Amino acid sequence: MIIGYGADLQQSTITVQQGGVLILDGSTVKGDGVTFIVGNINLNGGKLWLITGAATHVQLKVKRLRGEGAICLQTSAKEISPDFINVKGEVTGDIHVEITDASRQTLCNALKLQPDEDGIGATLQPA
């Protein structure tokens, strides 16, 4: 499923099953930052793709992100800092993160989301 930037997903619950893919496409957004806002995302072995243009900061705001699966971030940014992706909301489960360039060449795939101690977000950590 491909969802364009700006779609109102705040009240949505989306489940991505094994082999399934949810694409949130922010590739048309100009500027340094892209924010995706979704109610609940359940990863049941599926993948969540966040596609950006040249943004240097990506934020995913959710009520809940849970399950087992992967977030794949595709970007054409020239530099990627440790705080490149930021997740706000309740995060539980085993969620790995892969960062690719615009041609889907892997830049980094040894990351996972580690829930913050306050339970209101997650940060990238080595897998």
Of 40, 4, 38, which Cα lies nearest the Cα of 24?
A: 4
DSSP letter string, the chain: -EEETT--EEEEEEEEETT-EEEEEETT--SSEEEEEEEEEEEEEEEEEEEESS-SEEEEEEEEEEEEEEEEEE---S---TTSEEEEEEEEEEEEEEEE-TT--EEEEEEEEEE-TTSSEEEEEE-
What pLDDT is recorded for position 73? 87
Q: State the Cα–Cα distance between residues 68 and 46, nearest whole angstrom.
A: 8
- The candidate with the shortest Cα–Cα distance to 26, out of 54, 62, 1, is 54
Answer whether 13's CB lies under 8 Å from 39's CB: yes
Model confidence at 24: pLDDT above 70: yes
Per-residue pLDDT tens for 57-66?
888 999 999 9
What pLDDT, in 10s, does the model give residues 72-116?
988 877 666 656 778 899 999 999 998 888 787 887 777 888 888
- The whole-angstrom separation of Cα 75 and Cα 79 is 10
Instruction: Give the pTM.
Output: 0.85
